[in-house]
Chain A
Amino acid sequence: MHDVGVLALQGDVGEHEQALKSLGVTPVAVRTPSDLEAVEMIVVPGGESTAISLLLGSSGLREPLQQRLAAGMPAFGTCAGMILLANDIRGGRPDQVQLAAIDITVQRNAFGRQVQSFETDLEVDGLDHPFHAVFIRAPAVERVGPGVEVLATVTGPDDRPKPVLCRRGPILVAAFHPELSGDTRLHQMFLEGSLREASTTKP
């Protein structure tokens, strides 16, 4: 099994670690560039994207992480993780880090404040029964670039369907929190997809 890291600067790191452990993976907490060298794929958790963005800079992780992602390292981002992995962010700070691992435009806090946070059952392409999804001050995808698959949508405040689960190659991003609902199918999808990707790209 490849070593799986969880970016552990801020956010619900422990919940992702728990989900990975229940799939038989021993995750590595990534806080420094040397932690990053030890892993072959990474989960970017939920949290506050502005805070994680600053800590990516001060920890020295930003550049090596951008380089690894550009070189094809698999990544799974949830909520703040989706925002950080996107290459275009709306409602963010001008100095916000863009890891630019997937060509999507993400709107922060697309569904409103915490009182509008919600749970729902989501139909997901590739899963045979719905996924119970928890949206917390969630972002939504406003634009998907070429080659990005949309695996699930929900209706946004403007009554139009918003992509909330997207994949491009080894990059999987969710606007919600699969790490909170005790269902590991999306973590499984990430691990399997990454392995498949690795076997097709490596000689």
Chain B
Amino acid sequence: MPMASPEAPRTTGTDLVKRGMADMLKGGVIMDVVDAEQARIAEDAGAVAVMALERVPADIRRDGGVARMSDPALITGIQEAVSVPVMAKARIGHFAEAQVLEALAVDYIDESEVLTPADEAHHIDKWRFTVPFVCGATNLGEALRRISEGAAMIRSKGEAGTGDIVQAVRHLRSIRGDIAKITQADSAELYQWAKELQAPVQLVQELAETGRLPVPLFCAGGIATPADAALVMQLGAEACFVGSGIFKSADPPRFARAIVEATTHYRDANIVAKVSRGLGDAMRGQDAGHVEVRLAERGW
């Protein structure tokens, strides 16, 4: 009988547990929320997780100033309001903010370029944490460097807070395109790839063998409509982060629900058409080519 034998030891914070948590979010939508009420709207609409923050990226962009980790009271309030996982953002390199977020038992930390970076050279050593991390990337080299530092999920950076999908598309195409090329390279060429990407050769060799990142690849930065979600899913994203796109739209509950449906049924244009019908205005947004602060350039 299983009950009679002594139980084997348990280990927490392993690669499998951290990456597995990201696997459970696949095919879903992670929504930025600034309070418990928005968190409930997100959960009601079928969000697989919420990102707790004080201001959505569009407002951070508008307000300027230094953007930091959210108040723990706000994060705790959101944790109490919903049963889905709650993520929160730490500044790039700000391991003390990450320690606070781990103490609050958030389910994932986003080491995010949306906040003002705290370190000009170093990202957080993510292996030292039990809580898993997601990091943004604009290209494959950046993605592999973040994975080598312990990131358990990669997302495109896009250009957060613009509602313009063009940068996220560029980042996804760049990451997926280079992965495809590496699978065609011979073993000698992989060393050159590692040098060009400024990434560990072991990760490049693993990519060549498997044809995929060792962690899930999600899309963030600029998703504002159901069709945007369907676009990035067809380009190889495994799930969507939606920041300003929901709560800056004319009808957040409907937009949220429609983006959830489009993310699941991204191959079925009839369903994407149906959920897009009469949605009202998407967030107004701004052309990502003409923004003053390029958030995607933060991080290295």
Contacts and interface: CB of A to CB of B under 8 A. Distances in A.
Interface of A: 8-15, 31, 46-48, 50-51, 54-55, 58-59, 79-80, 91-93, 108-109, 112-125, 130, 134, 136-137, 150-155, 161, 177, 180-181
Given A48-B84, A51-B260, A136-B21, 15 more contacts: A14-B26, A50-B46, A51-B47, A55-B264, A80-B24, A113-B106, A113-B107, A118-B11, A120-B7, A124-B2, A137-B24, A137-B85, A155-B7, A180-B16, A180-B20
B9 A46 contact: no
A46 B85 CA distance: 14
A153 B16 contact: no
Contacts of B131: 114-115
A114 B131 CA distance: 7
Contact of B17 (A119, A125, A151): A119
A114 B11 contact: no
Contact of A10 (B26, B108, B268): B26
B8 A10 contact: no
Interface of B: 1-3, 5, 7-14, 16-17, 20-21, 23-28, 43, 45-49, 83-85, 102, 105-108, 130-132, 260-261, 264-265, 268
A47 B265 contact: no
Given A10-B28, A14-B26, A113-B105, A48 B48 contact: yes
Contacts of A50: 43, 46, 83-84
Given A50-B84, A114-B85, A123-B2, A137 B107 contact: yes
A12 B24 contact: yes
A130 B26 CA distance: 28
B26 A54 contact: no
A130 B83 contact: no
Given A51-B260, A113-B107, A117-B21, A161 B12 contact: no
A55 B83 contact: no
Contacts of A108: 83
Contact of A119 (B16, B24, B27): B16
Contacts of B10: 118-120
B108 A58 contact: no
Nearest to B108: A114
A145 B16 CA distance: 32
Contacts of B3: 153, 161
B208 to A, nearest CB: 19
Contacts of A125: 1-2
B22 to A, nearest CB: 9
B260 A54 contact: yes
